[in-house]
Structure 1
């Protein structure tokens, strides 16, 4: 059976780092990009939509507008309360809030992180909150209405590649890092005491104790995601090229006591092997509990199932028209089986399984 060719959007001169579908409109996509592969130079936020094009009315990806920034953009997340607002993560350590109804400048700007901000995520439960993670080792909780962060987590001692709210519990979030661990934090936990001094540069007292630490890899973990149907089921992936599925209810030690190390646990339920280079992004399907998409430096986006086929394979589909690193993938929130992928080849593809 022939598959329909993917819809294509090209953004010459800007390599992509992340993309997200709007939670309000089934056709709108935001793409975070950077010039010179994010090594130096400015960034650009692209807003696109799937719509008819040409006399025949065939669907196409259409550029609606874009916003230029002084530094590269590494991630983007749509607001869960304002249909035209979205937040971006920047290489200069800044976070910006944009309104798609305006044509030029962001409507809010925060500058607390001391290094690159690599991910942003908007809570779909507490819809007035979002989080950011940074190479400075911290995760910060924000409200778009406040001039400063609400809480700072001293999550890891090194780069935090991604931080995500649990889709099941409003105060739970997970992080992954260069240290090879997944960590789960409870925002209701009291902050750690940090004596005042010149080295303390956070606006809020940082929390540092994770509720659970999962030693997920001997190398850097670049991405994680919560399963949308099974609480405390997480997927992780990174430099070791293996996608792992963790049941984080399987804790090996008891609850954390005063002065004791955090609980360590997590049972690996499945491992998906097949990518030839590091896996840059993983995301569970919002429509099915068994489907997972991944994007890799091997220039492919792949779809996996936790339920093996009759031949024993977990691999469902390989999408490989990209000619550079594929660093982002995102499932459509409204149409089952529709995926978007973005790459350093300056192309966004939207395709259907």
Structure 2
């Protein structure tokens, strides 16, 4: 395995387990971390804003700039794509909160439509006035930060939806993953989403027609990510410990619409469920994973004779690693977070 070129920068937040970490798309040194007390089982949450400052010849230095308290645990966070100081969080009480880092305490907007835990949020980098949330109530909702209610509801699955992500290539494509073992792709331009009358609207009548369903696993699929360079290529990971790469252009017509997706690659090595997968923003064949086996791993999907596809194992964490995020500006720099209350920033 490749060795780290430097020891990781570490931030410790006693009493709060981390669920997600995200780099700002506007500031090269700004991180957001979503956390929960008591491992997210019960109790309050906290949003941390962290500055990451490189030091000459040494590790990154991490400092908490600001933190916001919430009444329930936070499971995910996404930075706004239109406002450099705003970000949205997903909460265990079913709410979404929009924060402005220039304010010190309260969110600037709260939405309460989901009936169970909100487990993911994703801000579209193409339709920059839109973000999506997914929930254990089986729905995905689309939002505009200036509107008081959601603009669209998808009955994506009939079980917990762990993640919903916009395609970085086509603004109207959205992918989801669920406890039912499937990955689905929705086309928001589909006629299935058109209102059929004055009493039929997207708020009270959720739409549910996926354009593609991938039977990705016999167990729960916990995470997905679109490849940033190859349209219609997705990675998935989950309880089966496998990381799979799917070519979603290969489809066939089944009893319930388009079913398919060709599995290009399977990456094996994690000892427990893989909680997070994320493609590199700088290379089309490199991705990172975070797992309940307490490691964050870096892989290549390009097989080379004599070279393993597993490039690096990052294992300083002492509890479940549930989040990882590539720096958007500094190639090879990755942040990881876990239930041990640690955020690590390292270069692989």
**Corresponding residue for residue 209 of structure 1:** 209
Q: State the shift of 1:47 in Å.
A: 0.3
| Counterparts of 2:84 and 2:99, CA distance in 1 | 11
Give the conservation status (yes or no) of the 8 Å contact 1:119–1:163.
yes
Which string of whole-angstrom CA distances, capped at 9 and with x for unpartnered residues, describes residues 84-130 of structure 1?
Answer: 00000000000000000000000000000000000000000010100
Distance 1:167 1:52 in 2: 29
Q: Secondary structure at the match of 2:77?
A: strand
Matches within 5 A, 1:73-222: 73-189=74-190, 190-191=192-193, 203-222=203-222
Work out whether 1:286 is the aligned partner of 2:287: no
The residue matched to 1:37 in structure 2 has which SS?
Answer: helix
Structural mapping, 1:261-340, within 5 Å:
261-340=256-335
The CA deviation at 1:3 is 3.1
TM-score by length of 2: 0.95
Deviation at 1:24, TM superposition (A): 0.2
Cα distance change on mapping 1:225 and 1:57 into 2, 3 Å: closer
What value does the CA root-mean-square deviation take over the aligned residues? 2.2
1:252 to 1:71, Cα distance in 2 relative to 1, 3 A: same
Partner of 1:47: 49
Q: Equivalent residue for 1:257? A: none
**TM-score of the superposition, structure 1-length normalised?**
0.94
Q: 1:69 and 1:273, CA in 2 relative to 1: closer, same or farther beyond 3 A? A: same
CA distance in 2, matches of 1:14, 1:165: 29
Q: Following the alignment from structure 2 to structure 1, what is the Cα–Cα distance between the partners of residues 322 and 121?
A: 15
**1:212-256 Cα distance to aligned partner (Å, 9 max, x none):** 0000000000000000000000000000000000000000228xx
CA separation in 2, counterparts of 1:19 and 1:193? 37
Per the alignment, residue 230 of structure 1 pairs with 230
Q: Give the drift of 1:262.
A: 1.9
Structure 2: 5+ residue runs without aligned partners? none
Residue of structure 1 equivalent to 2:336: 341
Alpha-carbon distance in structure 1 between the residues aligned to 2:147 and 2:338: 34
Contact 2:7 2:58 in 1 (8 A): no
1:7-46 residue pairs with structure 2 within 5 A? 7-46=9-48
Distance 1:193 1:136 in 2: 23
Residues 279-314 of structure 1: CA deviation (Å, up to 9, x unaligned): 000000000000010000000000000112432521
Residues 167, 186 of structure 1: alpha-carbon distance in 2 compared, 3 angstrom cutoff: same
Alpha carbons of structure 1 residues 211 and 51: separation in structure 2 relative to 1, 3 Å: same
Q: Secondary structure at the match of 2:39?
A: helix
* 3-state DSSP of counterpart to 1:206: coil
Contact 1:194 1:205 in 2 (8 A): no
Aligned length: 345
Instruction: After TM superposition, give the deviation of residue 136 of structure 1 in Å.
Output: 0.2
Please state how far the C-alpha of 1:59 moved relative to its aligned partner: 3.7
Q: What is the CA-CA distance between 1:205 and the residue it aligns to?
A: 2.4
Q: Following TM superposition, by how much is the alpha carbon of 1:195 offset from its aligned partner in structure 2, in angstroms?
A: 11
Separation (CA, whole Å) in 2 of partners of 1:2 and 1:178: 35
- In 2, the alpha carbon distance for the partners of 1:234 and 1:349 equals 26
Change (3 A) 1:261 1:86: same
Cα distance between partner residues in 1 of 2:186 and 2:193: 11
Counterpart contact for 1:178–1:220, Cα < 8 Å: yes
Q: Which runs of 5+ in 1 are unaligned?
A: 255-259
